[in-house]
Structure 1
Amino acid sequence: MNCSYSYVLSSGVDKQFRHINVAEADHFKQFARLIARAGIDI
């Protein structure tokens, strides 16, 4: 069985209740780099 993960950081939702993505990636290391580049401290 193959599991797949994705990582998303949302800043909230719009008027149609869709997430406003700040960063989105398929791999955690890529996600961490995107967060660091955006200047977000998590």
Structure 2
Amino acid sequence: KLVAQIEQDVIEEALKITHGNQVTAAKLLGLHRTTLRNKQRPPG
């Protein structure tokens, strides 16, 4: 759970930096866009 929370925090910060641009955030994190989307918290 701790690793998952850290992943979410890092993803959220990358999305803030890139103003919500998932492609750029994925590149910033060294991930493929689909990997980033799969790791994002489901809405709700």
* TM-score between the two structures when normalised by the length of structure 1: 0.30
Structure whose residues are more often helix by fraction: 2
Q: Which has the higher strand share?
A: 1
